[in-house]
Amino acid sequence: MLVKTFQAATMAEALRQVKAELGPDAMILSTKKEKQGGILGFFSKQVVKVTAAIDPHRPPPPPPAVVRERPERERTAKEEFESSMLAPLARELRELRERVEQLSKREEEQRQSQPEAAAAGDENGKPGEVAGINLNNIPRQDLEEIKKLLLNTLTRNQGGDAVQTVQWPDSGSDQSPKEGVAAVEGEQVTPLAKELERQGIDHDVMDKIIATINTLPAEQEEQSISGRLGAAFGRLIKFTGMLRLKKNAPRIIALVGPTGVGKTTTTAKLAAMYALNRGNKVALVTMDIFRVGAVEQLKTYTKIMGIPLEVASTPKELERAVERHADCDLILVDTAGRSHKDTEKLDEMKVFLEGIQSDIYLCLSATTKDRELEEILKRFSIFEVSKVVFTKLDECESFGCIVNLLLKANLQIAYFTTGQRVPEDIEVATSDKLAELILKGAEA
């Protein structure tokens, strides 16, 4: 075991030295602050000392796999997915372009030589008639409509040549959602609809997503499947982005949620994100005095990050703790986990939080079933939930429950957490990330 002590002016700088020299797997053994220099105790300078250790005999990482060229690589499900959607569309557009070019050429020949154009009309049909269709008689508006219809071509049967097109219902149609947006000729669903359904997305939500994709601007038609799905999510779901901190007062965020969803770890991750990565002045307040080890866990995190921690066991203590850190940019409040069925404890927690002006972030586990998520949201709605944080994405195989809840309840989403590491395993929720999660199974 290699043990080394690092010295710096701040805790953040000392931790950067540890990571730079010993790597991200180094283990922090102790931290302390000392005063050095000066004369007779005056004019001394405070420094931070961090003692860290790492095992120098760890097995080396496995060598990179040798890439061998193969005559033919089997395409992934995602590549098949995109190919099946784009190939027929490209073919139809190419055929349309060729027909328009033929029409233009014949019109030019007709203007140059009327006899030649007439002869061409005798042999091949009337001028402007291509493949049995008289394009001269089709209004320009109808031609534009033909182009739009071509964009609805999504896939082709594996064993045949019949092109399948999505059946988009008219606004006045009586078609049910299952017979409308998600359906195709032959009563088969599109590859995208199949993947959305496999992820557990409800049919009504699925139809709304696909209908939104169909209304995207023409310039977005060149995007990948994931890009278009992300664009649709961006229109349908509210993604809040990074916190907007106030200028003359602290932003107060209280994290609430049922037991076991990872509120305390999420609180520490947010503190590290804004204190260490962005340099904001952050304070933590915990109300979780019931769970064994909860306060000690936060004490360890805050000591390493060099930020203050307050413990509040009454509403008055919570108010005073917030007042003591009024000069901070951000105050994070970690609440005790409560069962959504324990209405008495939820009401008690509400009394605590009513004394401070805070934004309520509801932490939910992505491993929870849809029905339970809806019930949890209903019970925690007494807090006037501002935004949601979905945790434990690393433990999930499907992510449809996230999309279902966000769209049905019209919620704003702030963050995703993907593991237990602090501060690495947290990220700002975005539409592109959500699309990537939903299509993750298509890459397998």
The 3 state secondary structure assigned to 66-102 is CCCCCCCCCCCHHHHHHHHHHHHHHHHHHHHHHHHHH
Of 45, 414, 89, 396, residue with least CA distance to 254:
414
Please give the pLDDT value at position 147.
Answer: 53
Q: Which residues pair with 286 in a beta bridge?
A: 311, 334
Contact call for residues 205 and 409 (beta carbons, < 8 A): no
* Cα maximum dimension of the chain: 113
Angle between helices 294-305 and 11-22 (to 10 degrees): 90
From CA 331, how far away is CA 79, in angstroms rounded? 46
Please give the pLDDT value at position 73.
Answer: 53
Strand-strand pairing, 330-334 and 309-311 = unpaired
Q: What CATH number has the domain spanning 238-443?
A: 3.40.50.300
Find the helix or strand (DSSP H, E) in which 31 lies: strand 27-36
Angle between helices 225-236 and 431-438 (to 10 degrees): 130
Please give the pLDDT value at position 361.
Answer: 95
Please give the pLDDT value at position 23.
Answer: 81
Q: Dihedral, CA atoms, 381, 387, 393, 396, nearest 10 degrees?
A: 40
> Phi/psi class of residue 248: alpha, beta or left (left: φ > 0; alpha: ψ in -120 to 50)?
alpha
From CA 369, how far away is CA 433, in angstroms rounded? 21
Three-point CA angle 338, 343, 344, nearest 5°: 90
The number of angstroms, rounded, from the C-alpha of 234 to the middle of its chain's C-alpha atoms is: 10
From CA 161, how far away is CA 156, in angstroms rounded? 7
Please give the pLDDT value at position 209.
Answer: 92
The number of angstroms, rounded, from the C-alpha of 171 to the middle of its chain's C-alpha atoms is: 31
Helix (H, G, I), strand (E, B) or coil at 196: helix
> Which residue ranges make up each domain of the chain?
2-54, 83-165, 171-223, 238-443
Backbone angles phi, psi at 364, to 5 degrees: -130, 140
Strand-strand pairing, 163-165 and 330-334 = unpaired
Stated pTM of the model:
0.59
Contact call for residues 251 and 331 (beta carbons, < 8 A): yes
Helix (H, G, I), strand (E, B) or coil at 144: helix
From CA 75, how far away is CA 81, in angstroms rounded? 10
In the chain, which stretches have pLDDT less than 50? Answer: 69, 117-118, 120-123, 125, 127-132, 152-189, 444
Helix (H, G, I), strand (E, B) or coil at 7: strand
